[in-house]
Amino acid sequence: MSLEDALYPLLKLYEAAPQPVKSLAGRAYRAIPSSLRYGPAYTRFQNETREVETWDAETIQRYQIKALRDSLIAAAKAPFYAERFAASGVDPSKFESLDQLAAYPLLTKQDVILQREQMVNPKFDAKQRLYITTGGSSGVPVGFYLHKGVSRPKEQAYLEAQWSRRGYRIGDRVAVIRGSVTSSKGGGSISYFDATRNWLILSSYHLTLERLPEYVAALNHFRPQHLHAYPSAALMLARGLEQTSLKLDFKLTSLLCGSEKLTAESQQYLEQFFSARVFHWYGHSERVVLAAQGRTSNHLHFWPTYGFVEFGDPDAEGNREIIGTSFHNHVMPLIRYRTGDYAKITNGVASEIVGRDYEFLVSATGRRISLTAINMHDHIFDGLLAVQFFQEHAGAVECRFQPGPQWQNSKDEAIRAGLLRKLGDDFTLTLREVQEVEKTSAGKHKWLVTKLKIVN
């Protein structure tokens, strides 16, 4: 197990500590070499990200066949997969061609929600598993297990390799405007310093024109080389600066924009406004597949060594669902996992990810909260089949939830407290249990139903 994984359970204690304590502990931690913090797997994946760009098609195919076979064999040890594979007449030990994967059954989010514990490889005990939850872009809360000492070092290595395409170097100063909670109060603090990574963490919840001077002051004091932000937050910052006399007195090397859809028009606007290149990528907490813009191309290229990607049949608009099989996570492999995300695909490259749009809740004081930031990475949504937010008036939100068979009504207040901590004190929240959440005409889950008219 890596030091990073061993200390992960203490993360909330670190985040709740006073800033002087965080700074002291963080600087001490950052002084430890990366190879020790992340473990030997980190170095392995670092090397892999460098080497794969020089591989020919045959080398990539050999790698993928082996990685798929390893994932399938690991999956077959779990009761859920053993039964499904037997019913489908497939044998992972005989997997020798990429074409053979089509014979394996598809996996849905509902499968993971209802059968998670039966999908775990019994070879790995609880100490080797890292439990993670995500609301996902579709709004369906999903819990799953990652492989300690492997999954998180791998993610770190791949993210760093991607960001380097826009000039990022390990140790660079980064300002972050994403889903971190700096205060649960509408008028609370907007930032804190994370010394473990040399990052300035800024709230995406308090970014309004009224409080923009605080953001500009914090950024000008920290002078980051990169801005790591939700696309919506980066656009809010740019538009706020454009509408005021406030200015950043430093030059950014890059904007690192993930977790939300980024249109070509928005990317062009951000690059022109900040005079810096924007980097966009697609991934998810399940760590199944990962795609990123190239060094010169803005199209999203899927990493062939991260996971195996397939695409569903085109819908009426030509969009295809992203289907992935995870590599390296042998604790709980996800085999032919239907992500619920759709993309426009040409020759295996995504020109656009669709279905992940900018969706906001609006507070009574005019703050806009990205629903990407509301996705709860803890246990409070365990047992629910779907979650949806409804808003008709600013400051008033209804959280609709569809319970699963293992849902406990006693957890209602935990959901309320967790959501209000993120929303802040200028929201009122109503919880409502429903038999089924509202869907689009195409049957897709809607994460937000809003009657508000929002002017961008």
CB 207 within 8 A of CB 177: yes
| Parallel/antiparallel/unpaired status of strands 396-403 and 428-433 | parallel
SS3 at position 184: coil
Does residue 370 sit within a domain?
A: yes
What is the structure's pLDDT at 357?
Answer: 47
Tokens of 324: 């992935």
By the 10 Å C-beta count (0-12 exposed, 13-18 middle, 19+ buried), 389 is classed as: buried
Count CA atoms closer than 13 A to 229's CA, side-chain side.
26
Does residue 183 sit within a domain?
A: no
Structural domains in the chain (count): 1
Does residue 428 sit within a domain?
A: yes
Whether the predicted pLDDT of 366 surpasses 50: yes
CB atoms within 10 A of CB 43: 14
Q: Domain of 379?
A: 360-450
Question: 386, 293, 389: which is closest to 340 by C-alpha?
Answer: 386
Does residue 56 sit within a domain?
A: no
Does residue 53 sit within a domain?
A: no
- For 243-284, the pLDDT digits (tens) are 888 999 999 999 999 988 888 899 999 999 999 999 999 998
- For 333-365, the pLDDT digits (tens) are 999 999 988 898 998 899 888 765 456 788 998
Q: What is the CATH number of the domain that holds 422?
A: 3.30.300.30
Whether the predicted pLDDT of 289 surpasses 50: yes
**E strands in 207-264:** 226-229, 254-257
* 337 strand-pairing partners: 107, 324
- For 185-223, the pLDDT digits (tens) are 778 889 999 999 999 999 887 888 889 999 999 999 999
Q: CA 282 → CA 20, 38, 70, 185, 352, distances in Å?
A: 35, 23, 24, 31, 10
What is the structure's pLDDT at 139?
Answer: 55
Which stretch of 20-34, 214-228, 249-263, 374-388 has the lowest confidence by average pLDDT? Answer: 374-388
Rounded Cα distance between 151 and 331, Å, is: 10
Sequence-distant (6+) residues with CB within 8 A of 431 are 398, 399, 401, 412, 415, 416
Query: Residues 137, 400, 380, 426: is their CA dihedral positive or negative?
Result: positive
Predicted model pTM: 0.84
Rounded Cα distance between 188 and 190, Å, is: 6
Rounded Cα distance between 450 and 269, Å, is: 27
Does residue 277 sit within a domain?
A: no
- For 68-105, the pLDDT digits (tens) are 999 999 999 999 999 999 999 999 999 999 999 999 99
* 402 strand-pairing partners: 386
What is the structure's pLDDT at 268?
Answer: 95
What is the structure's pLDDT at 156?
Answer: 95
Does residue 371 sit within a domain?
A: yes
Does residue 446 sit within a domain?
A: yes
84: left (phi over 0), alpha (psi -120 to 50) or beta: alpha
What is the structure's pLDDT at 304?
Answer: 98
